[in-house]
A and B are shown apart, each in its own frame.
Chain A
Amino acid sequence: MFALEITGVDRTFHVAGKPVPALRDISLSIREGEFVAIVGGSGCGKSTLLRLILGLDRPDRGEVRVGGQPVRGPGLDRGIVFQEHRLLPWLTAETNVAAALRRSGLDSAQRRQRVAEYLDLVGLTAFAKAWPAQLSGGMAQRVAIARALVNRPRFLLLDEPLGALDALTRLRLQAELARIVRHGGTTALLVTHDVDEAVFLADRLVVMQPHPGRISDVLTVDPAARRDRSSAVFLRVRDKVLGMLGVETEAVRAGAYETAA
């Protein structure tokens, strides 16, 4: 049973009257509970693909199915964390998370409990009453993660969620994200241009190339690589993916992995 099935999807935009293909012949299946990362440079259509999965946009050809059902629009079975936190500045951390439960069908006591549970999961119980302007970038993004998860979605979509954060906060939140996603057993799809982040978090990597956006490679990440960012396995996967994206590292050029591979 696949949590997500994308089959033969094309999407073309029209810019100043000219057709610009954003996605061509995308097919991808993600198993229940899997953590998949899409890596690629800018213009490879990764965000367009996320919008199709979210139901904010429709493919010109092909089909997107979530849990066996074709996507016809947004739904609470898919939660999203955007690159900017997109918290509503006039609501507290707590009410921002609670706003996601408007259509959940839970009564108010259940909602309160659910909000508290997810603020606790992201470690922000003490900041429940804080305004977004009072939170650091990393904290605000953790509130956004709680908001994306509070409906217990089947699918968590992450659109470069740590891209706007400083390097240290990003490392800390990567570990945090790994814990949170594994905790709920949610199926997750991460879009990123940070190859280290992708290798650290994902079970499987999807490499996309631009003009038009297409999938060039799919590779499975050795679980051993995830345990240690400085291990040889980690570096090998990372350099391989960087090579696919056209970035050649010194180690690859020197043939360091030739014997190991």
Chain B
Amino acid sequence: MKRVLPLLVPLVALAVWEAAARLSHVSHELLPPPEKVAYRLWDGFAHGGMTGDLAASLLRELSGFVIGATGGVALGLLLGLSRPACRLLGPLFLGYRQVALFAWVPLLSMWFGGGEQGKVAFIALAAMAPSAVNTWRGTSALPHSYIELSRVLMFRPLDYVRFVALPGALPAILTGLRSSLIAAWLATVGAELFLDVAPGLGGRMNEGRETFQMDLVLASVVLLGLLGLTFSRLAVAAEKSLLKRRAA
């Protein structure tokens, strides 16, 4: 029962979709039934070069994620551990968070171009914020007793980072990295849809829209969702195994 329950809603949704496509008067061009989308997905991988698109999107996402998350964790550590840095940069960073991500698209495409560089820069920018926020919170919320202990043991600042701050904030940092991974994936599609056309899932969706192949659009959407889910699952599993030894 426990295993079946999470599948219940998706199955009902699928049934509703199927019924809507069959019973309504909406044309299959606009709302293709699920089996047509599933076939399109299979066909895409078998003959349509979908594997190449998927690989291109994944590579783009991961490059942006690595750059953005690294910068984010570094910024978060700086904000969480250095009071002057927090005073100087904290308000600026919080202000930056209020600006919608897509507002940077014009600027980024001017600086980096609409090609690969611009896309990766956009993804990196999206991935940066969640890592920075969580690392910042995690390091500044460490219990005072650990700070006192570090003083008693005469830790140097680097010892404090290595033995207390980083491992102490690890759960928060991992949460941040997971959010960054998802944000990077969302931004990948955004970059592919709004910047120059290039191989990738977003490019595929554009193509589907322009040539009026809704089955292709929907197949891409399903694939994006499945991959997002996989990322999330992998991240949770990695988090669990990394934090396992802390609990008895």
Contact = CB atoms under 8 A, between A and B. Distances in A.
Interface of A: 54, 56, 73-76, 78, 80, 82, 84, 86, 88-91, 99-100, 102-103, 131, 133-134
B154 A131 contact: no
Given A91-B163, A102-B154, A102-B155, A86 B247 contact: no
Give the 6 A-B CB pairs with smallest separation, nearest first. A133-B248, A90-B167, A103-B154, A74-B152, A74-B151, A131-B245
B246 A131 contact: yes
A74 B164 contact: no
Nearest to A51: B148
Interface of B: 145-146, 148-149, 151-156, 159, 163-164, 167-168, 170, 245-248
Nearest to A103: B154
Nearest to A101: B153
B248 A76 contact: no
14 contacts: A54-B152, A56-B151, A75-B154, A80-B152, A82-B149, A86-B146, A88-B146, A88-B167, A90-B167, A90-B170, A91-B163, A91-B167, A99-B159, A103-B154
Contact of A99 (B163, B168, B245, B247): B163
Contacts of B152: 54, 56, 74, 78, 80
A14 to B, nearest CB: 19
Nearest to B143: A86
Contacts of A56: 148, 151-152
A91 B154 CA distance: 18
B153 A133 contact: no
Contacts of A133: 245-248
Given A99-B163, A133-B246, A133-B247, A76 B149 contact: no
Given A88-B167, A103-B153, 14 more contacts: A54-B152, A74-B152, A82-B149, A89-B246, A90-B168, A90-B170, A90-B245, A91-B163, A91-B167, A102-B156, A102-B163, A103-B156, A131-B248, A134-B248
Contacts of B149: 82, 86, 88
A114 B155 CA distance: 19
B164 A88 contact: yes
A102 B153 contact: yes
B153 A100 contact: yes
Nearest to B246: A89
A240 to B, nearest CB: 34
Contacts of B163: 88, 91, 99, 102
Nearest to B243: A90
Contacts of A80: 152
Contacts of A90: 167-168, 170, 245-246
